[in-house]
Structure 1
């Protein structure tokens, strides 16, 4: 629970011990085995989770059938499919366990109950959605303003361990580049270090 409390405080501001205990009481531990699905596209996501350990991959298929990896979620990230969970629309993204994953999960039903029992949760929800939009804006800005080399360097600096844990074509996809471009940049970065 200590990690949960720290994560909530870092992301959503000061909460009392009683508030944290109430929020935590709505979450339950969940495990996914490697390759299990958290949710699939064309379903409606029914849970929001905190990744305790492991890696989740968020991806979709393009019209040509190519997999597009949108995100690789690691420890202490909040995970849901926003369209499904918050807007009750069919998911755009599939979320799958790349490794064995441990989660702290709240169901959509319990989430709504928490909103009723703890009105301050609506403020926390707003901060969560704002944080998601800010992350999206940052990614769009980096794709528009940075070279492929700069995007690679930034992502590598923030997620160095992932480069040894997942196939590099997934990271290339997250960065919006082909595996060939990614490999050329990686080779140059390795030669220069």
Structure 2
């Protein structure tokens, strides 16, 4: 089983025949370091499952670039407003390293509803699982002091600190790079 198949099977309890249909539509794609998966104003027609590498999702705000998310192995990447509502994205999605993905086009994704009777149930579970991740992130940003946000990210995703520039991680958890640097020094 590929990483994609393992993920879908373990999280969404699909049947083997459903898994075969779903995974047959995803194709292995790649993006070189520095390349863009998506830029503001574009409409994304791809949904990709991250196989390897690191991708930064960010948006310019004044003279800053705010990191919304760092995507890596085991996460899906797209802009749902594009896929579902055909609206342009406000985000940049840029490869921080060479990346590989399992990718499906919007048309192939939409065809799953015709191919699988349970597709809407499976899709709802997938979207709900990612929605809960985002709810937790928002709650943590609003309720935790900076030191707790740093410690939470370090405990949950320590590999990010070896692969992603610290200023991007600081932005993602709502603090300045200087604050993150101070917190790192104080916990060593």
Tell whether the structures are fold-level matches, with TM greater than 0.5: yes
Q: Do residues 10 (structure 1) and 5 (structure 2) align?
A: no
Task: State the match for 1:40 in structure 2.
Answer: 39
Deviation at 1:128, TM superposition (A): 2.0
Moved over 4 A (4+): none
Q: Can you give the 5+ residue segments of structure 1 that lack an aligned partner in the other structure?
A: none
Q: Please state how far the C-alpha of 1:29 moved relative to its aligned partner.
A: 0.6
| TM-score (structure 1 length as normaliser) | 0.93
Which residue, out of 154, 157, 161, partners 2:155? 157
Q: CA deviation at 1:163?
A: 0.7
Determine the C-alpha separation between the residues in 1 that align with 2:47 and 2:175. 29
Equivalent-residue separation in structure 2 for 1:19 and 1:34 (angstroms): 34
How far residue 51 of structure 1 moved from its aligned partner, in angstroms, is: 0.6
Q: Give the number of aligned pairs.
A: 188
| Residue number in structure 2 paired with 1:31 | 30
The 5 Å alignment of 1:84-123 reads 84-123=82-121
Q: Distance in 2 between matches of 1:173 and 1:83?
A: 23
Comparing 77-86 with 101-110, which one deviates more in the overlay? 77-86
2:63, 2:42 → 1: CA distance? 18
Q: Establish whether residue 139 from structure 1 lines up as the match of residue 137 from structure 2.
A: yes
Does the CA contact (< 8 Å) of 1:40 and 1:94 recur in 2?
Answer: yes
Alpha-carbon distance in structure 2 between the residues aligned to 1:155 and 1:99: 20
Counterpart for residue 187 of structure 2: 189
Secondary structure in structure 1 of the residue aligned to 2:59: strand
Cα distance in 2 between the residues matched to 1:43 and 1:128: 24
Question: Is the 1:26–1:114 Cα contact (8 Å) retained in structure 2?
Answer: no
Structure 2: state its 5+ residue gaps. Answer: none
**CA distance in structure 2 between the partners assigned to 1:55 and 1:165 by the alignment:** 8
Scaled by the length of structure 2, what TM-score is found? 0.95
Once the two structures are overlaid, the 10-residue window that deviates more, 122-131 or 146-155, is 122-131
Superposition CA RMSD, Å = 1.2
Deviation for aligned residue 1:35: 1.0
Q: Find the aligned partners of 1:189 and 1:31 in 2 and give their Cα distance.
A: 37
| Residue in structure 1 matched with residue 49 of structure 2 by the alignment | 50
